[in-house]
């Protein structure tokens, strides 16, 4: 089923009913598809064979410390 961004705002309860019936929803913006909503209980959500899953699994550093290092402010002299 397809909904526009405007319909998303005004018919949100209807969207949840559609998702409860296990149907996908495509959201369009200015006539172009921008997003796809799938039901959370759907098995496609739990799929682990995605090509990008575990992309950094072989790296042996702490993700939290790596993110802190990336977010650290720069010093300009």
Q: Determine the pLDDT at residue 47.
A: 52
Q: Write the pLDDT tens digit of every residue in 1-54.
A: 888 888 888 888 888 888 888 888 899 999 899 999 888 764 554 555 555 556
Within a 10 A sphere around the Cβ of 3, how many other Cβ atoms? 20
Name the H helices within the chain: 5-10, 12-20, 63-71
Q: Determine the pLDDT at residue 64.
A: 79
Q: Determine the pLDDT at residue 9.
A: 85
Structural domains in the chain plus CATH codes: 2-71 (3.40.1620.10)
Q: Can you give the pTM of this predicted structure? A: 0.48
């Amino acid at each position: 089923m397809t909904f526009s961004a405007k319909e998303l705002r005004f018919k949100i309860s209807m969207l949840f009913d559609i998702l409860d019936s296990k149907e996908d929803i495509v959201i369009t913006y200015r006539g172009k598809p921008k997003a796809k909503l799938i039901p959370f209980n759907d098995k496609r959500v739990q799929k682990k064979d995605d090509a990008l899953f575990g992309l950094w699994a072989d790296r042996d550093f702490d993700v939290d410390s790596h993110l802190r290092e990336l977010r650290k402010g720069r010093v300009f002299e």
